[in-house]
């Protein structure tokens, strides 16, 4: 199992950085990506924080498999409290940044405070440097990234983050994952198999849990954000695009995790990890006061049993979800 993953707490106001490893306990409970990011946000964000203030925190995370053969361009995830909704929100950014951040020595960056001057964070080989910049306006950013920067990073006075590293990512079974991904490429070009079950319909039941019910599509989407992948498993035989990423092949995801990291998980455990991440986010939003003004999201919470009375119970919700260490932060 990997032990080389690190978290950096970056105090922008003081230009100070504190780093520590991702513990085995955190990795087993949340894996990485949006899983650990949501946990870190719930742990460090002040209660009822103004999302537009310097007290709001912003977490940039690499997917759990980002930079590996399974996700060489695995997505990075930015997690923060949104100024648009006042709720915990995240944005996934595809491209090389997540892999480069891991090669530079970090899986998660927790940005706290606000830089005094416009700042660029230079991240390389386990070090983070603060560089003052002026007038840096990158017009090439996509709309999504521009909104992200203006909505969250602007409040931190961070105009850019640059990663450069030479740290090799540890892989548990290099030969095994090479063979596995080779099989992936070969499967894409195979002719359609007869009597192949429809993978899109293999997991259509609502997932029940101690805090409320969750749609299976949300479980899948959350797990992809945790892993940093665009789809969970090999595409159905005979397809060129993997069914548009709709398949819920949790076993293939578990195989890739095992070969890359050595962590043994089954389909049910993967779903529980995704549910745990969703539960933390929803409990936080309920604590912060989600209302009918949030429209569809608030309706979804209510219709699936996610209410303050139902979720703020330590022994019935926090303990079985293995997030009891967040009780004092979220109650």
Q: In the 3-class helix/strand/coil scheme, how is the chain assigned residue by residue? A: CCCCCEEEEEECCCCEEEEEECCHHHHHHHCCHHHHHHHHHHHHCCCCCCCCCCCCCEEEEECCCCCCCCCCCCCEEEEEECCCCCCEEEEEECCCHHHHHHHCCCCEEEEECCCCCCEEEEEECCEEEEEECCCCCCCCCCHHHHHHHHHHHHHHCEEEEEECCCCCCCCCCHHHHHHHHHHHHHHHCCCCCCCCCCHHHCCCCCEECCCCEECHHHHHHHHHHHHCCCCCCCCCCCCCCCHHHCCCCHHHHHHHHHHHHCCCCCHHHHHHHHHHHHHHHHHHHHHHCCCHHHCHHHHHHHHCCCCHHHHCCHHHHHCCCCCHHHHHHHC
Nearest 5°: phi and psi at 275?
-60, -40
pLDDT-above-70 percentage for the chain: 82
Handedness of CA 230, 233, 237, 243 (dihedral sign): negative
C-beta separation of 195 from 237 below 8 A: no
Higher pLDDT: 81 or 94? It is: 81
Q: How far apart are CA 77 and CA 290, in angstroms?
A: 23
Q: Which two tokens stand for residue 16?
A: 């100070």
Nearest 5°: phi and psi at 314?
-65, -55
Band of the pLDDT at 144, cuts 50, 70, 90? very low
Length of the chain: 331
pLDDT, one tens digit per residue, over 83-109 is 888 889 988 888 889 999 999 999 999
**Region 292-303 average pLDDT:** 72
Q: Which domains occur in the chain, in start order?
A: 6-163 (3.60.9.10)
pLDDT, one tens digit per residue, over 110-128 is 999 999 998 999 999 999 9
Specify the pLDDT at position 160: 85
Specify the pLDDT at position 121: 93
Name the range with the highest mean pLDDT among 123-127, 157-161, 203-207, 230-234.
Answer: 123-127
Specify the pLDDT at position 189: 57
Q: How far apart are CA 70 and CA 65, in angstroms?
A: 7
Band of the pLDDT at 73, cuts 50, 70, 90? confident
- For the entire predicted model, the pTM comes to 0.86
Handedness of CA 315, 41, 99, 17 (dihedral sign): negative
Mean pLDDT of the chain: 83
Q: How far apart are CA 259 and CA 172, in angstroms?
A: 6
Q: Other CB atoms closer than 10 Å to residue 251's CB: what's the count?
A: 15
Specify the pLDDT at position 230: 73
- Classify residue 309 as exposed, middle or buried by CB count within 10 Å of its CB (0-12, 13-18, 19+): exposed
**Region 314-323 average pLDDT:** 96
Specify the pLDDT at position 234: 42
Cβ partners under 8 Å of residue 45, min gap 6: 56, 57, 81, 284
C-beta separation of 123 from 105 below 8 A: yes
Cβ partners under 8 Å of residue 225, min gap 6: 33, 34, 63, 75, 77, 90, 92
**Region 282-310 average pLDDT:** 81
Higher pLDDT: 31 or 93? It is: 31
Q: Which two tokens stand for residue 186?
A: 């070969």
Specify the pLDDT at position 303: 81
């Amino acid at each position: 199992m990997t032990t080389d993953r690190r978290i950096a707490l970056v105090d922008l106001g003081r230009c100070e950085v504190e780093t520590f490893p991702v513990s085995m306990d955190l990795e087993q409970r949340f894996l990485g990506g949006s899983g650990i990011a949501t946990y870190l946000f719930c742990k460090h964000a002040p209660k009822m924080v103004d999302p537009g203030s310097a007290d709001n925190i912003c977490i940039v995370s690499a997917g759990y498999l980002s930079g590996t053969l399974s996700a060489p361009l695995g997505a990075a995830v930015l997690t923060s409290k949104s100024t648009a909704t006042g709720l915990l929100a995240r944005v996934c950014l595809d491209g090389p940044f997540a892999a480069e951040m891991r090669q530079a020595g970090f899986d998660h960056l927790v940005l706290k405070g606000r830089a005094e001057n416009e700042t660029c964070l230079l991240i390389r080989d386990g070090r983070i440097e603060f560089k003052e910049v002026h007038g840096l306006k990158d017009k090439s950013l996509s709309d999504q990234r521009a909104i992200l920067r203006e909505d969250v990073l602007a409040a931190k006075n961070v105009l850019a983050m640059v990663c450069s590293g030479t740290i090799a990512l540890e892989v548990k079974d290099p030969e095994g994952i090479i063979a596995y991904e080779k099989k992936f490429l070969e499967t894409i070009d195979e002719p359609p198999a007869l009597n192949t079950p429809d993978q899109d319909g293999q997991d259509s039941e609502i997932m029940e849990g101690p805090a409320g019910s969750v749609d299976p599509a949300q479980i899948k989407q959350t797990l992809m954000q945790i892993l940093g992948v665009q789809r969970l498993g090999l595409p159905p035989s005979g397809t060129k695009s993997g069914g548009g990423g709709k398949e819920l092949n949790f076993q293939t995801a578990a195989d890739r995790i095992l070969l890359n990291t050595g962590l043994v998980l089954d389909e049910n455990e993967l779903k529980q990890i995704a549910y745990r991440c969703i539960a933390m986010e929803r409990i936080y939003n309920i604590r912060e006061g989600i209302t009918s003004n949030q429209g569809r999201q608030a309706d979804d919470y209510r219709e699936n049993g996610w209410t303050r009375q139902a979720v703020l119970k330590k022994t019935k919700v926090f303990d079985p979800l293995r997030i009891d260490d967040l009780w004092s932060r979220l109650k």
